[in-house]
Amino acid sequence: MSFIKIRYYPEGSSGPVKDYLDALATERPAAYVKLALDLEILGAESLRSKQITIRPLGQGLWELKRLFEGIQYRIFFCVERGCAWLLHAIEKKSAKTPLDDMRLARRRMRGI
């Protein structure tokens, strides 16, 4: 089994996704717990996990998906040098991922 370390863009231990998750822990703790567990599974089982929903978005960008209480949570990440870099997080109500959010995640990915 291959483990990958979970890191936050841009420096590793802090960044926009960390801030988002910290706020979620206060505002919607049950949703935070689900996402934190998904990230733990991603770290333990990598991209081959069958316990979480992840999908490739092309060019090395991935999306972790979690539906909870009618809200679709998305965390965009890339895998580089044995680390899953969490680039961007959104909540959405529609099935389609906003193009601006994907562009932002790709821009951040280039900075790693």
46 secondary structure, DSSP code: G
Residue 31 in this model has a pLDDT that exceeds 90: yes
CA distances, 58 to each of 26, 61, 62, 89 (Å): 33, 6, 7, 17
| Overall pTM > 0.85 | yes
Q: How far is CA 33 from CA 11, 21, 29, 38, in A?
A: 23, 10, 6, 9
Spell out the domains of the chain, with CATH numbers in brackets: 5-110 (3.30.2310.20)
pLDDT in tens, 95-110: 788 899 999 999 999 9
* 11-15: average pLDDT: 94
Q: How far is CA 78 from CA 27, 32, 46, 55, 109, in A?
A: 27, 21, 11, 11, 7
